[in-house]
Every structure is written in C-alpha cells, then in structure tokens.
Amino acid sequence: MARRIAAGAAYGGGGAGLIGAAAVGVLLAEVRLARRHVGNGSSGRVPVADGLYGWESPRSDRAGSGGSGVAYGVPDEPPLRLALLGDSTAAGQGVHRAGQTPGALLASGLAAVAERPVELRNVAQPGAQSDALDRQVALVLSASSPVPDICVIMIGANDVTHRMPPTRSVRHLSAAVRRLRTAGAEVVVGTCPDLGTIEPVQQPLRWLARRASRQLAAAQTIGVVEQGGRTVSLGDLLGPEFEANPRELFGPDNYHPSAEGYATAAMAVLPTVCAALGLWPAEEERPDVSRREGFLPVARAAAEAASEAGTEVTAAMPTGPRGPWALLKRRRRRRVPEAEPARPSV
C-alpha cells in the first residue's frame, strides 16, 4: 500500500515535491498565522447537534429533517445511527446554530432519504490531527453505545499545517477506518480540504498549499479505499467555489466554512452516505460515461478525485494489471436545508 500511496501523492501533488523546504516553512507559518485569527469574528464554541433527526417536533409540528413537516418512523426498527469524527470541519466550528453544522445537515438529509429517524453523535474535536482518530473511534465504539450504521470522517487540514508526514497521517486514518469497518459500520471520509483558499495566505504560497492539500487527499483516498471505506474529495469542492464566493462560503474567521459552506460540503457527501447504506437509486450506481465515471487503478482514481469537486472513490475489483482498482463517481448533489433542532437521544 505504501507504494500506491506514494504514487497517488505524486499524482495529486502536481510537482509540489520540487518546492524547497524553506517555501514549505513559510507556507505553514502563514497558515498558522491565519488560524490565530480564528475566533476574531466568531466564537470558538462549537454548537452541539447530537440527537434525533426526522422526528415530530412538539414545538412546531415540523420534522427534524429540514422542516419538511414529515415525521419518519419504521415499526420495530431503531433509528439509523450516524457518527461524525475528525477536526473542526466535522465539528462545525464557525457557525452559530446546531442545525448549520455538517452533522445536523447530514442527519436531516439522511432521514429524508431513508424516511427513517437518524440519531447523530459527533465526537469530532477542533484542532484534531489524524492521530486523534484512535481516541475518537474508541468513543464511537464504546461498550455503552451501539455501533453506528455509518461514520463520516473529515480530517487532514491540521496534519498539513503541523507537517505530519503523509504516510503517518494515512496510517492513522487507515487504522481508524479498519476498526470501524471491522465493527460493522460503513465509513465515508471527506478528504483534506484545500488550504489554498484560506484568505490570509497569498500567492504564490496558495499554489503550494493547494498542492500539499491535494497530495494528502490522494494518499488518504488510497488508504481509505483499501480498508473498505469510501471517500469524497472536499479539496476542490471547498476550493474554486470558496475562492469565487469567499464572503458567502467562509465564516467570519476567514478560516472555517460558513453555514452556506457547510451546506455545500454536506450536499457533496450526502449521496455517498446514502449509497453506502444502499439507499441511493440502483440505476445511479452504474458508471455514467457521460459524467466521466468509471473504473481506474486506485492511485489514478485518487489523483483524479483530489483535483475535482465532490468526486467519490470506492473499492471495485480487488486486483488488476496495476494493482487494486476503484470506481470513480461524480454524483449529482442534493440540496440540504438547515436542520430543525434535534430531539435529545434517550
């Protein structure tokens, strides 16, 4: 796997390895300086969104799933269980209301598609690096909690800014995915976001930040897919769109996504979450040549995903002429409205 990770990183890096260590040091200094401004325009408090979505609200007679007015319930079946792990992006730092966090948006969207309540638990921690996933997985798989039906992980930005070697970063992520899959949970990973969009970071260092982010995202994809998980690229999704609309898609701290930014990310991840649970239309699971979907060697698929918004990669044929192969999908996004307040879990 190490050789494939190196190949994917080389594809995704686009020549970043040719840049000197001094430039990397300057880049990381600028990114860390940008992070110091977090909180200047917004509170560092992360809204707590844990609870049940897709239930009848006694206050407004509206459902938890985006205010649709429909309460979901399947007789004799418990709610679907969704867990979020990772860093501040998974936690939802930068927004003020729980319903604007990615966990709440995904839970309400999943409830609407499944027509079944969804119980959300978010153990993500702002500032977390990939080596924090071991503790987060332990929390999710604790004896007192049922195994989630699906886990969504968003991680990687802090690994880049703290210069964690990609091989070490991917090793921690792969171990987390393996533990969750072994326990019976489906896993979807939103790969490293594009640090080249952080407003205080200027050119030409934005170019280097983008390459470093893509390099890690490609390596993450290979590690996750080989452990039976799926990935969705967040780098380009939170790249050109954020770059074109920084005031709308970045929060007040100019570092974390705004409510609209989190909704954009959730729209990209939700179809893959639903597909992993067998809830997406069967006809959409076949590769669509018109959308440039198809089977590729995993390293090549990882590189393509790292360079295009919202691209999904999942395992396909276990072996091929150039090692394991993967299915690359460019799913149509589904609008995710802000969620209604969750009912506390019992």
* pLDDT band of 12, cuts 50, 70, 90: low
What are the strands, taking DSSP E only, across the chain?
A: 51-53, 80-86, 118-122, 150-154, 186-190, 230-232, 294-297, 312-315, 325-329
Asked if the model's pLDDT at residue 251 lies above 50, the reply is no
Instruction: Report the alpha-carbon distance of residue 275 to residue 122 in Å, rounded.
Output: 21
pLDDT for residue 293? 93
Asked whether the beta carbons of 310 and 303 are under 8 A apart, the reply is no
Residue 67: is its pLDDT beyond 60? no
Mean pLDDT of 227-240: 79
Higher pLDDT, 28 or 163: 163
| 256 noted as active-site residue | yes
pLDDT, residue 121, reads: 96
Measured in residues, the chain has a length of 346
Active-site pick, 213, 253, 258, 307: 253
pLDDT at 96 over 50: yes
| Alpha carbons 148 and 119: distance in angstroms, whole number | 9
- Contact call for residues 150 and 103 (beta carbons, < 8 A): no
Which H or E element spans position 287?
none
Position 210 confidence tier, pLDDT thresholds 50, 70, 90: confident
* Residue range 291-320, pLDDT digits in tens: 899 999 999 999 999 988 789 999 987 666
Angle at 252 between CA 248 and CA 254, to 5 degrees: 80
Q: Of 65, 87, 194, 256, which one is the catalytic site residue?
A: 256
Computed over every residue of the chain, the mean pLDDT equals: 79
| % of the chain surpassing 70 pLDDT | 67
Catalytic residue at 88?
yes
Structure confidence at residue 342 as a pLDDT band (50, 70, 90): low
Q: Over pLDDT 90: what percentage of the chain? A: 46
At 204 the pLDDT is: 65
User: Given this model, what pLDDT does residue 32 score?
Assistant: 54
Question: By three-state DSSP, how is residue 325 classified?
Answer: strand
* Integer angstrom CA distances of residue 310 from 41, 64, 71, 231: 28, 26, 30, 9
User: What pLDDT is recorded for position 299?
Assistant: 93
pLDDT of residue 226: 94
The DSSP result for 187-215, as a single string, is EEEE----GGG-TTPPTTHHHHHHHHHHH
258 pLDDT more than 50: yes
Domains within the chain, CATH numbers bracketed: 2-329 (3.40.50.1110)
pTM, entire model: 0.82
Measure the CA–CA gap between 272 and 331, rounded to whole angstroms: 8
pLDDT at residue 118 in the model: 96
17 φ, ψ to 5°? -65, -15
**Structure confidence by residue, pLDDT tens digits, 264-291:** 889 999 999 999 999 988 888 888 888 8
Find the catalytic residue in 88, 169, 213, 307: 88
